[in-house]
């Protein structure tokens, strides 16, 4: 009489649980102890995917091709003998899709700044599996630690424009768990805001006063000339 089956162990022997489209993975299922032959059945969300009979003590190997969203999710395997003694179920393994990130966009509420001003930069990749890790650069030099965002939101840093050297080219990069998928943003430059001269408002004010005086003088001339004209008659 065959020995009592233990709960089989489901393991990933090829590939990763974070999968991309058209990726092949292999799962192994083995119950120890147990006397062969043993029938192993692979399930996805309680629906049978495949079944194999093992005539020795080696694990059953299930090869899967992840070709659509319906192929991801929770998998389990079942080990049983060919007579009605009941079967045992394994642990579960869950596959999830990972999506490559899109090119991040680097932006700021203002494109002009002056020395002594605080500014912000935000970096955002609209598409891609979370979490997404961002990093900011000025030229080729990193200016911030990596920021890992668990939600679909921009990473933001605060900068202090201290000198003219801070008016350089800024970029950011984004990456996630998708293999070989680091992307850099557009370049962003702050331009120096023109400071208005303090004398300019004074000149404008003096010009307006002078214009009002000329207009007032012109309007007052008739009041002086008419009495003089009458007095000379």
**Residues 37-62 pLDDT 10s:** 889 999 999 899 999 998 888 899 99
pLDDT of residue 20: 87
- The rounded mean pLDDT for the chain is 87
Q: Do the domains 9-97 and 105-192 sit in the same CATH topology, yes or no?
A: yes
In the chain, where the domains are located: 9-97, 105-192
Residues in the chain where the model's pLDDT stays below 70: 1-3, 33-35, 83-85, 195-203, 217, 222-233
CATH topology of domain 9-97: Immunoglobulin-like (2.60.40)
pLDDT of residue 25: 96
At the top level of CATH, the class of 105-192 is mainly beta
What is the 3 state secondary structure string of the chain? CCCCCCCCEEEEEECCCEECCCEEEEEEEECCCCCCCEEEEEEECCEEEEEEEECCCCCEEEEEEECCHHHCEEEEEEEECCCCCCCEECCCEEEEECCCCCCCEEECCCCEECCCEEEEEEEECCCCCCCEEEEEEECCEECCCCEEECCCCCEEEEEEECCHHHCCEEEEEEECCCCCCCEECCCEECEECCCCCCHHHHHHHHHHHHHHHHHHHHHHHHHHHHHHHHHHC
* Global confidence as pTM: 0.61
**Residues 18-35 pLDDT 10s:** 898 889 999 999 998 666
């Amino acid at each position: 009489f065959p020995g009592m089956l233990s709960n089989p162990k489901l393991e990933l022997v090829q590939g990763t649980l974070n999968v991309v489209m058209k990726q092949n993975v292999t799962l192994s299922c083995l119950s120890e102890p147990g006397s062969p032959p043993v029938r192993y059945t692979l399930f996805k969300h309680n629906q049978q995917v495949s079944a194999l009979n093992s005539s020795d003590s080696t694990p059953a190997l299930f090869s899967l091709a992840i070709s659509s969203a319906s192929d991801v999710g929770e998998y389990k395997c079942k080990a049983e003998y060919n007579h009605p003694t009941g079967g045992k179920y394994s642990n579960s393994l869950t596959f999830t899709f990972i999506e490559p990130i899109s090119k991040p966009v680097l932006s700021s509420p203002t494109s002009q700044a002056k020395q002594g001003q605080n500014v912000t930069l935000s970096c955002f990749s609209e598409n891609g599996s979370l979490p997404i890790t961002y990093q900011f650069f000025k030229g080729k030099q990193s200016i911030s630690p990596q920021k890992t965002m668990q939600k679909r939101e921009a990473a933001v840093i605060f900068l202090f424009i201290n000198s003219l050297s801070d008016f350089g080219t800024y970029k950011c990069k984004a990456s996630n768990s998708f293999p070989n998928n680091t992307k850099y943003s557009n370049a962003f430059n702050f331009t120096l805001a023109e400071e208005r001269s303090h004398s300019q408002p004074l000149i404008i004010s003096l010009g307006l006063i002078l214009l009002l005086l000329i207009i007032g003088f012109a309007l007052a001339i008739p009041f002086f000339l008419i009495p003089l004209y009458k007095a000379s008659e």
